[in-house]
Structure 1
Amino acid sequence: MTTMVATTTAPATHSNRIRYAALIAKVLLFGLLLTALVWPDLSGIKGKAAGARLVVYPIGAMVLPLWWWAYGRTRSKLHRTFPWPADLLLTLPWLIDLIGNRLNLFDTVDWWDDAMHFLLWGFLTAGALLAFAPRNLSRGVLAFVALGFGATAAVIWELGEYVAFVRNSPELQSAYTDTLGDLALGTLGALIGGLICYQFRARP
């Protein structure tokens, strides 16, 4: 009896930890966004399309809960309960980006921007696949979906950065090379995120 209780409670405990982590991530994200509104000079995003970030980041973090409330909870064939792991993965990119800007890591650590494009696109792609991709996709098809989503998201991000602030900043001189590197790293990160997502789904 003791063994059975331990076996049944372990997954529930793990699920609760993921849920709490997702909720904490959202609280931290909205807290940082609020402080950016109150103290813009200390936000780390002043001069980096702060207004656009204050709009896009909450949407990015809330797209899955809003989809679930409007559609998923009653008609989703993918999930019987809210997909907290996907929600956490879809929230982390926005939170980590804000923290990196708040600590000025993008401007003071040479490799930080490259690492973030690789890592955060992996999180974003894995979260999107866990939330919306059918579970019966093969490894190859899932890899192509990950590449398509990741590359498209990376292009949209780079276009947004250019329109919002790069074209009028000193970064314009090196923007071409930097953009190519960001697109390559983001796409690679998306592919790795997709393959990890496949392995996660394949577990019994």
Structure 2
Amino acid sequence: MTTMVTTTPVASRTGWTKYAALLAKVALFVLLLTAFIWPDLSGIKGKASTARLVVYPIGAMVLPLWWFAYGRAKSKLHKTFPWHADLLLTLPWLGDLIGNRLNLFDTITWWDDAMHFVLWGFLTAGALTAFLPRGLSRGLTAFVALGFGVTAAVIWELGEYVAFVRHSAELQTAYTDTLGDLALGTLGALLAGLIVHRVRREASTVA
């Protein structure tokens, strides 16, 4: 009876995150397909749309590809595919596409700032959950989160600059905007690290 009580919530949570991750991927690829077919309606026209059509599917499929090529046989961190991490790693790409499709980045002044904070939190939490060994201290988890999050944020800003910022009207304010984006991405990554550590600590206490 005790085994049933402790394992059922875990199985239920795994089932929910599995379907949520799959739904997020389907939504992402539908939006990418519509952006390819009807670029004028995508919201990403003139915003490195070609690069996004390449990078976003790769970003969403990194974990499944890693798992089936390597992790399933050799991962010491996960016995089954980590759907919760997969969902977290898919949400940033999906969130960005939805925001652009609905024109939220250009119509709501604080939307871009919020997305850099929130989506970088999702991305970092997903990476930590998927690949970071358990049992690390809070400080070390935070340092790893910052190392991943800040590096990813810098790569993103460099990509944006090369892809479209240097040829757009945004160049005049790009420096200030980039500094703000990097700061918010850093804070989002740090918060993600602290949350991942706390969730894992509480899970180990319950176990």
Could you state the TM-score of these two structures normalised by the residue count of structure 2? 0.95
Question: What RMSD in Å do the two structures reach over aligned CA positions?
Answer: 1.1
Aligned residues: 203
- Tell me what 2:9 maps to: 10
Question: Which amino acid counterpart does residue 34 of structure 1 have in structure 2?
Answer: L
**Which runs of 4 or more aligned residues in structure 1 lie more than 4 Å from their structure 2 counterparts after TM superposition?**
3-7
- Tell me what 2:158 maps to: 159
- Tell me what 1:189 maps to: 188
Report the secondary structure of 2:134's partner residue. coil
- Tell me what 2:73 maps to: 74
Report the secondary structure of 1:20's partner residue. helix
Post-superposition offset of 1:6: 5.2
- Tell me what 1:149 maps to: 148
Query: Quick one: distance in 1 between partners of 2:20 and 2:189?
Result: 22
Question: Which amino acid counterpart does residue 123 of structure 1 have in structure 2?
Answer: F
Post-superposition offset of 1:7: 4.7
Question: Which amino acid counterpart does residue 144 of structure 2 have in structure 1?
Answer: V
Query: Quick one: distance in 2 between partners of 1:46 and 1:17?
Result: 34
1:165-204 superposed matches below 5 A: 165-203=164-202, 204=206
Q: Are the structure 2 counterparts of residues 138 and 10 from structure 1 closer, same or farther at C-alpha, using a change threshold of 3 Å?
A: same
Query: Quick one: distance in 1 between partners of 2:82 and 2:54?
Result: 24
Post-superposition offset of 1:13: 1.3
- Tell me what 1:36 maps to: 35
* Counterpart check, 1:26 vs 2:14: no
Question: Which amino acid counterpart does residue 61 of structure 1 have in structure 2?
Answer: A
Query: Quick one: distance in 2 between partners of 1:4 and 1:155?
Result: 46
Structure 1 unmatched ranges of 5 or more: none
Instruction: Please give the per-residue CA displacement for 1:111-170, whole angstroms capped at 9, x wherever unaligned.
Output: 000000000000000000000111121110010011111110000000000000000000
Report the secondary structure of 1:135's partner residue. coil
Question: Which amino acid counterpart does residue 81 of structure 2 have in structure 1?
Answer: F
- Tell me what 2:138 maps to: 139
**Percent identity, aligned pairs only?**
77
1:116-127 superposed matches below 5 A: 116-127=115-126
Question: Which amino acid counterpart does residue 7 of structure 2 have in structure 1?
Answer: T
